[in-house]
Chains A and B, each alone.
Chain A
Amino acid sequence: MQQKSKVVLVGVATFVLLIWALITIIPLYWMIIGSFQDSAASASFNPRFIPDSWSIAPYERFFNKTNAFRWLFNSLFVSGVLTVTNVFLASLAGYAFAKLKFPGNKSVFWILLSTMMIPSQVTLIPLYVLIINIFSLGDTYTAIILPSLVTVGNIFLMKQYMSSLPTSLIHAARIDACSEFGIFYKIILPIAKPGLAVLAIFTFVAQWNEFFWPLLVTRSSSMRTIQVGLASFKFAESTDYGAIMAGATVGALPMIILFFALQKYFLQGITVGAVKG
Chain B
Amino acid sequence: MKMAKKSMLVLASSMLLVTAACGGKTDNSSGSSASPASSADAAKPDTVKLWTYPVHGKYEEELKPLLEEFNKLHPNIKVDYEMLSWAEGPKKFDVALNAGDPPDLYFGGASGNYVNTGLAVALDPYMTQEIKDDYVAGALDGGKIGGKQYSLPLYQFQWAWGGNKRILEEAGIDWKKIQANGWTWTEFNEAAKKLTKKLPDGSQQYGLVTDGQSLDFMDLVTRNNNLPEVVDKDGKFIWNDARILDSLKFIENLVKTGVMPKESAALTAQKRTDMFYDGKAAIISKAIPYYDVMFQNRAKDIDAGKIKGEKIDFVLLPVPHKDDAKPVTYMGAQGYVMFNQKNDKGEQHRKNAFLLMEFLSGAKAGNSSNELCLPFVRKSQAKAFEGKGLANPINKTASETMAKYASQPIDLMISTDKAAQLKQFKDQVEKPNFQALLAGEKTAEQVAEEFKTKGAQILR
Contact = CB atoms under 8 A, between A and B. Distances in A.
A45 B278 contact: yes
A192 B308 CA distance: 55
A170 interface: no
15 contacts: A43-B270, A44-B278, A46-B278, A133-B343, A138-B26, A138-B28, A141-B18, A185-B4, A215-B92, A216-B95, A219-B80, A220-B82, A234-B86, A236-B54, A237-B269
For the complex of A and B, the 6 pairs showing the least CB-CB separation, nearest first, are A138-B26, A142-B22, A234-B87, A38-B307, A140-B22, A128-B99
A53 B308 contact: yes
Given A216-B95, A239-B270, 11 more contacts: A40-B278, A40-B308, A44-B274, A45-B203, A132-B99, A133-B100, A141-B22, A212-B88, A215-B88, A234-B87, A235-B57
Contacts of A139: 24-26
Contacts of A8: none
A140 B271 contact: no
A219 B14 contact: no
Contacts of B54: 235-236
A224 to B, nearest CB: 10
A129 B55 CA distance: 29
A63 to B, nearest CB: 16
B11 A88 contact: yes
Interface residues of B, number: 55
Interface residues of A, number: 48
Contacts of A239: 270
B243 to A, nearest CB: 30
Contacts of B28: 136, 138
Given A125-B99, A237-B290, A41 B308 contact: yes
Contact of A39 (B18, B24, B307): B307
Given A44-B278, A53-B308, A234-B85, A77 B26 contact: no
Contact of B3 (A77, A185, A219): A185
B290 to A, nearest CB: 7
Contacts of B343: 133
A45 B280 contact: yes
B24 A223 contact: yes
A128 B96 contact: yes
Of the candidates B80, B100, B271, B277, the one having the most CB atoms from chain A within 10 angstroms of its own CB is B277
Given A128-B99, A140-B24, A235 B274 contact: no
A64 interface: no
Given A133-B343, A181-B4, A182-B1, A40 B271 contact: no
B95 to A, nearest CB: 6
Contact of B18 (A145, A231, A234): A145
Nearest to B59: A236
Given A45-B274, A136-B28, A216-B95, A57 B22 contact: no
A269 to B, nearest CB: 21
Given A40-B278, A236-B86, A216 B92 contact: yes
Contacts of A223: 24
Interface of B: 1, 3-4, 7, 11, 14, 17-19, 21-26, 28, 53-57, 80, 82, 85-88, 91-92, 95-96, 98-101, 203, 269-271, 273-275, 277-278, 280, 288, 290-291, 294, 306-309, 342-343
Nearest to A143: B22
Contacts of B23: 140
A157 interface: no
A234 B24 CA distance: 27
B274 A125 contact: no
Nearest to A61: B306
Contacts of B96: 128, 132, 216
A80 to B, nearest CB: 8
Contacts of B306: 38, 57
Contact of B291 (A133, A141, A185, A237): A237
A143 B195 CA distance: 54
Contacts of A137: 22, 25-26
B290 A219 contact: no
A84 B9 CA distance: 13
A136 B18 contact: no
A232 interface: yes
Contact of A235 (B4, B82, B86, B275): B86
A142 B18 contact: yes
B25 A136 contact: yes
A45 B271 contact: yes
A255 B307 CA distance: 30
Interface string A10-21: 000000000000
A24 interface: no
A237 B99 contact: no
A142 B19 CA distance: 7
Contacts of A38: 306-309
A5 interface: no
A255 B56 CA distance: 35
A43 B271 contact: yes
Interface in A118-155: 124-125, 128-129, 132-133, 136-142, 145
Interface in A202-254: 212, 215-216, 219-220, 223, 231-232, 234-239
Contacts of A43: 270-271, 274
A81 interface: yes
Contact of A84 (B11, B99, B273): B11
Interface string A242-275: 0000000000000000000000000000000000
Contact of B275 (A45, A138, A142, A234): A45
A38 B310 CA distance: 13
B271 A124 contact: no
B203 to A, nearest CB: 5
Nearest to A228: B88
Given A88-B11, A137-B25, A129 B99 contact: yes
**Most chain B beta carbons < 10 A, residue from A38, A81, A128, A236:** A236
A20 to B, nearest CB: 24
A129 B100 contact: yes
Nearest to B81: A219
A215 B88 CA distance: 8
Nearest to A42: B274
A141 B18 CA distance: 7
